[in-house]
Structure 1
Amino acid sequence: MNQKIAILCSGGDVSGMNPALKRFVEYAYARNLQPYFVRNGYEGLIDNHIVPADYHDVAGIITRGGTKIGSARSLRFKEASYRAVAAENLRSHGIDRLIVLGGDGSFRGMERFYHETGIAFCGIPSTIDNDINGTDYCLGVDTALGVIKDAIDQIRDTASSFHRAFVIETMGRDCGYLTLISAITSGAELCLIPELPVDIDDFKGCFQSQIAKGRDYFIAVVSEALDSKKVAEWFEKELGFESRVSVLGHIQRGGNPSVYDRLMAFKFVTYAIDALLEGKNHSIICYNKSHFNFKTIDEVALHPYRLDEELLNLAREQFLPTRCQM
């Protein structure tokens, strides 16, 4: 077992990383490779927190959110001198292949690292924001959607009991994916995302008509890129509904990984290890239309992510004021 391979997590943690680590160790051994963990992302590469991994390290972690080996955002890795230190640390362990669970920023860093050092890598898209260009799905998003769904379902109980408007803020940075999917699947009355700018005042007549026909509470799901407090104030001022804001925050990142995220973690890691053994030295494994494929860093990281047009059409049909049922 002379060949060695390492894995690290970079950026925000997601539920699905621990199942990926479990599969990494088990499949590496199956392919006659010695697996290594890099603790705390690129910071761990620089500080030489690189350790051999075995079955004991991954026993029982498949049910846990987050990542057992830690993650980090590393400013030092942006500097060539620290990348040189990281490369020397990997070489001192005899490691020349690396799997990176992270986002497009992490992948850009690895692309530069590869060209400077020749250390091969394969990236696995891992972010609940689901905002990486070139892939329909990122590891962790399914669990995050489940957490949001449970939260909205529970908030609805109070909203209906007290006849209130609840404004629920989801994560996602500048991408409205979590917000839109959650709003559609929770039966929300209002969805506000950056990709579909609207004037909330345009909803006033529509909502007043619905109130006259019996609607006595509202659920609004709003992207964190927008102002949830102003939306709540609008419900109170314009519609006379007592309102509350619920910022879900980092609970969306954690939690018991869903069945789908566990399964996809296993598949992603399998494809990544196979790709590195087949000589694909700097690629990202993506998932499109129920198929896995490999893309270059330029395809993934140098183009902005855009919501699928079919999803946007659903949003227009469901949530634009021009489609509102009077």
Structure 2
Amino acid sequence: MKRIAVYTSGGDAPGMNACIRAVVRTSIFKGLEIYGISYGYDGMINGNIKKMQSHSVSNIIQRGGTILKSARSEQFMTKEGRKKAYDQLRANGIEGLVAIGGDGTFTGAKVFFEEFGIPVIGCPGTIDNDIYGTDYTIGFDTAVNTALEAIDKIRDTAAAHDRIFFVEVMGRDSGYIAVECGIGGGAEFVMVPETETDIKKVVKSLKNLRKTKSSSIIVVAEGGEEGNADQIMEKVKNKIQDEDKEFKVTTLGHIQRGGNPTARDRVLASRCGMAAVEGLIDGKSNCMAGVVSGEVLYTPFDDCINKTKPLTGDHLKLIEILSI
């Protein structure tokens, strides 16, 4: 293998640039030619492929987003689109790929490998931390710290006005961000997609907490079965029926995807990027390079896509204990 390419796909995550940097510089160190594909699978189809040098990734490790850009690709979901992508790679002499993204990115990479045999290794780039085969995903730590900083500020105004705040964080299918923010931010409740939310229990607890606390923070993952933070707030407010108590909602949204990556995300991204290149050189493919218990492991895309990474009961128990 002499020539490989790297691309980012799906939602951006802080640390993707650090991963790109590691892929580029490891490739050069190992004597490979390295190319960057802009705009993910769409760029692969349209031939947005250019050679990268060591200086191409200078001064990017601290930047959020992705210098290679990211995009959804309807074309790549078709066999014809994937054939166009394959033809572009062949025309540029690309013999292997590093895919940085989440399960959608890995699903596309898996199908592409099965159809055309181009070796692909993935790096887990998503703030949701919902990829099986790695303890943490690139961007998760930064997203948690971004949300936590906001929650700390919201708690100040909640306490000043004796308000109950519902803070919505990202996590359509995963409650990892919500749980870690809830623990780190001292939230009274955390609502996540993985567990059922008992509104009656929340109302009862809030009424009891009023004896000792004048304000409360409730962290809501966007994918809960009871709805978003606005809907849950209305349900709770209607049951408490206290005209003297103010209820507020703050939705943090895409602010969690941006910003300078933390040291933890930069190191994780760098390790995964290096491991992906080394894996391609060693003949590995159709798998993801992740870090489990401090060690780099290669997990088949099938497992990354189909196996779940459940929340630990200890996290949920800790929130309940510390909220009293």
TM-score (norm 1): 0.93
Letter paired with 2:61: I
1:306 aligns with 2:315: no
Q: CA separation in 2, counterparts of 1:254 and 1:312?
A: 29
Aligned to 2:229: 228
Cα distance between partner residues in 2 of 1:205 and 1:250 = 32
Give the aligned partner of residue 46 of structure 1.
Answer: 45
3-state SS in 1 of match to 2:25 = helix
TM-superposition CA deviations, 1:165-224 (whole Å, max 9, x none): 1110001112111111110111001111121213121133332232123x1111010010
Tell me, yes or no, if the aligned pair for 2:188 and 2:323 is still in contact at 8 Å. Answer: no
Q: Is the 8 A contact 1:122 1:283 kept in 2?
A: yes
Deviations 1:11-53 (A, max 9, x none): 0000001111122221111101111000000000000000001
Gaps of 5+ in 2: none
Instruction: Pick one of 215, 219, 241 that aligns with 1:217.
Output: 215
Q: Is 1:242 the equivalent of 2:241?
A: no
Look up the equivalent residue of 1:318 and give its one-letter code.
I
Q: Distance in 1 between matches of 2:23 and 2:241?
A: 54
CA contact (8 A) 2:172 2:193 kept: no
CA distance in 2, matches of 1:161, 1:235: 21
Q: Does 1:27 align with 2:26?
A: yes
> Is 1:73 the equivalent of 2:72?
yes
Residues 114 and 121 of structure 1 are in contact (CA less than 8 Å); yes or no, is this contact kept in structure 2? yes
Q: Aligned equivalents of 2:284 and 2:131: distance in 1?
A: 20
CA deviation vs aligned residue, 1:138-178 (integer Å, no higher than 9, x gap): 11101101101111011111111111111100011121111
Q: Return 5+ residue gaps in structure 1 as ranges.
A: none
Check conservation: 2:187, 2:323, Cα contact below 8 A: no
Q: Give the letter for the 2:262 counterpart.
A: S
Between the two proteins, the alignment pairs up a number of residues equal to 318
- The question of whether the paired residues in 2 share the 8 Å contact of 1:8 and 1:37 is answered with yes
Match of 1:260 among 245, 258, 264: 264
- 265-274 or 51-60, which deviates more: 51-60
Partners of 2:118 and 2:205 in 1: CA distance: 58
Cα offset for 1:67? 0.2
Q: Whole-Å Cα distance in 2 between the matches of residues 203 and 154 of structure 1?
A: 23
How much does 1:313 deviate? 3.1
Tell me, yes or no, if the aligned pair for 1:15 and 1:65 is still in contact at 8 Å: yes
Deviation at 1:106, TM superposition (A): 1.4
How does 1:1-326 map onto structure 2 within 5 Å? 3-213=2-212, 215-225=213-223, 226-237=227-238, 238=240, 240=242, 241-303=245-307, 305-308=308-311, 311-319=312-320, 325=324
Letter in 2 for 1:180: V
Structure 2 residue identity aligned to 1:107: F
Determine the C-alpha separation between the residues in 2 that align with 1:230 and 1:102. Answer: 31
Normalized against structure 2, the TM-score is what?
Answer: 0.93
Give the stretch that moved more between structures: 13-22 or 237-246: 237-246
Identity %: 36
Contact 1:142-1:258 at 8 Å conserved across structures? yes
Q: Which amino acid aligns with 2:14?
A: S
CA RMSD in angstroms, aligned pairs only: 1.7
Native 8 Å contact 1:206 1:324 kept in 2? no
1:286 shift after superposition: 2.2
Distance change in 2, residues 1:137/1:313 (3 Å): same
Shift in Å, 1:317: 4.7
Find the aligned partners of 1:56 and 1:282 in 2 and give their Cα distance. Answer: 29
